[in-house]
Chains A and B, each alone.
Chain A
Amino acid sequence: MDAKRELFQKLQQDILLWQGFKPMTSGKAERIGLGEIEDAFPGGVFPKKAIHEFITVLPEHSAASDGFIAGLLAVLMENGAACVWASTSRRLYPASLGLFNVEAERIIFMDVRTEKDVLWITEEALKCEGLAAVVAEVNNLSLIESRRLQLAVESSGVTGFILRKDENKTASTVATARWRISPLPSQAEDGMPGLGFPRWQVELLKVRNGNPGNFVLEWAGERFEEVKKLKKENVWSEMEGRQIG
């Protein structure tokens, strides 16, 4: 009986490895700076060799997703590697990426006309081992397309981020994780007026072999910081003697 269980465990480990999850190495784990969220993934490691799907419908959501991805890119591109950003209707403003510690000149933007070209470029780029990550903005992603992308990722180890603009949350894709990032009201330090650090509701809607969850996260200048409990908000318009600037 034990032998059988061991065999099962071994097979499970193998499958995880094929799907892009690195087993936890004893002692030092590769962290990407997401804190508790990383524990939602099997083995407690953010899968780099995988496709991550982001659902963005409203422009506010896509701006928040851009910020979240930029925060991840800062870690992924640390070694000097480049990144490809493919889209048909890109609105990302490169000058803002510096706030997320990303060197925007290392991002290669490919602004094409058709969705088909975006998918072709994404697949080719995901096969390219010299890249750190590939970000693609698409309207929707079918099962077959996502499987092709996943296969490309598995051989090269490039992280793929797909920004999906359709609302179909149940669409079946083989993406390892499905996220939804929505903005939350920010909190300035100690009742100061104005805006605080960008704060997001990070919903991990689906994780393969992991535990989906709901988190509140802030980009605290140069790293992600988890917000444990929400303090009472100061509403700017109700504050006495408010000052702007």
Chain B
Amino acid sequence: MQRRFVSIWFRQLLADWQLIRRPELSGVPFVFAAPDHGRMMITAVSELAQGFGVEVGMRAADAKAICPGLEVLDDKPERPKKLLKGLGEWCVRYSPIVAIDEFAMDGLILEATGCSHLWGGERGYLKEIVSRLKSKGYTVRVAIADNPGAAWAVSHFGKITPLIPVGEHVDALLNLVPDALRLDDTTLAKLRKLGFYQIKSFIGMPRSVLRRRFGEDFLLRLAQAIGTEIEVLSPLQVPVQFSERLACLEPIKTRNGIEIAIHKLLENLCKRMQAEGKGLRFGVLTCYRIDGKVVQVDIGTSGASHNISHLLKLFQLKIDQIRPALGIELFVLEAPKVDDVEVPQEEMWTSKPGLDDQSVIKLLDRVAGKVGLQVIHRYLPAKRYWPERAILKAASVTEKPNAPWRLDKPRPTELLKTPVAIEVMAIIPDHPPKFFIYKGVRHTVTKADGPERIEREWWLDQGEHRDYYQVEDEQGGRYWLFRSGHYGGENKYKWFIHGFFA
């Protein structure tokens, strides 16, 4: 299907908006002005003021001189964007893809592919847009063409018809001024200086010649208007493929009611996802309350799932966070992130338990939903000696270790997060201590193994190596001690306790 785009140009966006807000200004010429280099520059002009010859880019003081009784209003830099965003969200009724015209900041661009037949063809579609906006108080010019660039050109500068039939947009452009190509001021001045007053006078020129004189940007704009370059719109609202709505006759206030609503939404959503072999990874439930507030809760799963009872359980953990207040009138369930679901082959005998067991994955989802994903850890062996770095956090539930756990060196069952300094008495250099004092308790060493020297990973951090000893005291407690640095070295060595053996 040929793609079609509509460009809506709000000719006096700010002035129209001001008139809607303050109808009493209808008989008064007014302008918007913003400070610029210490003077007030006019940024928008009302129709009445235009009649006096006031233009955008004039100084407010000059304008006041030619137009007595001129009202000067303060402009805010972000205001047009805000207004366009609101209007764009309203225009979603005409097309799911609505973008702000980023070049001039005074219009919207709609992708109308496959939308216009709902209003009885393109003529009716454009008429509806113009008349609805006009009834609101906005004067607009619209155009429909095969690409956003051509639609923009025709809406701003077209004089014959706003309806450009499929494939005829290049002809429509030929007689327009170069300004219709959305170019910057210096390029336009250059074009005018060279006598190019219409697009047709340079459209046939070789690209290399045009590039040399006007730059790459000029060629891009030209290609966008002709349609050889595809222009990507950034829609205001990204449509979610999997979403379900449930409007309620009576506002819902109870936990039970919310649960039933979620169940109904999930039923429909899961049916659709199942048909396409997809599963939910991230889901958002939006509740619209009758007092106008919106409440949102979200869930995540560690594996794609379209299992209704599992997803419902995840939402049940979040229901406490939904405050219905006076009641909820509309539920919208969206699945912004879906994945292909792996259909497990049915086991003939008993299924083999393991980490990818369905019940385990569901348990992890529930924990992640209630407490958070960050609390779940799994460790894999790392090929390193430094005890703190010898274990590696696994990235996913099913990640397999790529090396076996080392068994040749003794490692304590309990490892302190940071080694604790201890006082020791060692008679012979490079031997384990005779006794050590940890937390005020004196432990007399009766047996010892070691040392095991572990060097620091010098490419990561600086410091002394460690000589580890495995010692046992009279009571049978087994400890992992180390001496940091050489005995009698230049730097002062120190003893630490780092763990407890079983």
A120 in contact with B446 given A82-B355, A111-B375, A112-B375 (CB within 8 Å): no
A82 in contact with B477 given A70-B413, A103-B405, A195-B472 (CB within 8 Å): no
Contacts of B380 in A (CB 8 A): 105
Which of A66, A100, A120 is B414 in contact with, Cβ under 8 Å?
Answer: A66
**B499 close to A106 (CB less than 8 A):** no
Contacts of A11 in B (CB 8 A): none
A80 in contact with B363 given A66-B502, A109-B378, A195-B448 (CB within 8 Å): no
B443-502 with Cβ < 8 A to chain A: 445-451, 470, 472, 474-478, 499-502
CB distance from A66 to the nearest CB of B (A): 4
Whether B415 is near chain A, meaning CB under 8 Å from some CB there, is yes
**B406 close to A95 (CB less than 8 A):** yes
B395-433: CB near A (< 8 Å → 1, else 0) gives 001001100111100111111110000000000000110
**A96 close to B413 (CB less than 8 A):** yes
Complex Cα distance A107/B410, Å?
20
Complex Cα distance A200/B165, Å?
89
A185 in contact with B472 given A97-B405, A106-B354 (CB within 8 Å): yes
CB distance from B429 to the nearest CB of A (A): 12
Contacts of A112 in B (CB 8 A): 371, 375
Which of A108, A129, A236 is B376 in contact with, Cβ under 8 Å?
Answer: A108
A91 in contact with B353 given A82-B360, A124-B363, A245-B451 (CB within 8 Å): no
Contacts of B353 in A (CB 8 A): 79-82, 130-132
A178-207: CB near B (< 8 Å → 1, else 0) gives 000011111010000111001110000000
**B407 close to A99 (CB less than 8 A):** yes
Complex Cα distance A98/B502, Å?
13
A183 in contact with B476 given A66-B502, A70-B413, A93-B499 (CB within 8 Å): yes
Q: Which range contains the number of B residues in contact with the other chain?
A: 35 or more
Complex Cα distance A39/B475, Å?
28
Contacts of A66 in B (CB 8 A): 413-414, 502
**A183 close to B412 (CB less than 8 A):** no
Contacts of A75 in B (CB 8 A): none
Nearest neighbor of B410 in chain A, beta-carbon distance: A99
Whether A64 is near chain B, meaning CB under 8 Å from some CB there, is yes
Best-surrounded residue of A93, A111, A200 (most CB of chain B within 10 A): A93
Contacts of B500 in A (CB 8 A): 59-60, 62-63, 91
**B475 close to A183 (CB less than 8 A):** yes
Complex Cα distance A79/B351, Å?
11
Whether B379 is near chain A, meaning CB under 8 Å from some CB there, is yes
CB distance from B45 to the nearest CB of A (A): 60
**B476 close to A98 (CB less than 8 A):** no
Which of B357, B406, B414, B445 is A92 in contact with, Cβ under 8 Å?
Answer: B414
CB distance from A40 to the nearest CB of B (A): 22
A186 in contact with B357 given A70-B502, A237-B434 (CB within 8 Å): no
Contacts of A235 in B (CB 8 A): 446
**B445 close to A237 (CB less than 8 A):** yes
A60 in contact with B477 given A95-B406, A105-B394 (CB within 8 Å): yes
**B447 close to A59 (CB less than 8 A):** no
Nearest neighbor of B401 in chain A, beta-carbon distance: A105
Complex Cα distance A236/B407, Å?
25
Whether A51 is near chain B, meaning CB under 8 Å from some CB there, is no
Which of A59, A104, A125 is B379 in contact with, Cβ under 8 Å?
Answer: A104
B361-372: CB near A (< 8 Å → 1, else 0) gives 011101100110
Whether B193 is near chain A, meaning CB under 8 Å from some CB there, is no
Contacts of A183 in B (CB 8 A): 475-478, 502
Whether A160 is near chain B, meaning CB under 8 Å from some CB there, is no
Chain A interface residues (CB < 8 Å from chain B): 58-60, 62-64, 66-68, 70, 79-82, 84, 91-100, 103-112, 117, 120-121, 124-125, 128-132, 182-186, 188, 193-195, 198-200, 219, 235-237, 244-245
Q: Please give me the 5 A-B residue pairs with the lowest Cβ-Cβ distance, nearest first.
A: A67-B502, A130-B357, A63-B500, A98-B405, A81-B353
* Chain A to chain B contacts (Cβ below 8 Å), 14 pairs: A60-B476, A60-B500, A82-B353, A82-B355, A94-B391, A98-B405, A104-B379, A104-B405, A110-B367, A124-B366, A131-B353, A185-B476, A195-B478, A244-B448
Chain B interface residues (CB < 8 Å from chain A): 352-355, 357-360, 362-364, 366-367, 370-371, 375-381, 387, 390-391, 394, 397, 400-401, 404-407, 410-417, 431-432, 434, 445-451, 470, 472, 474-478, 499-502
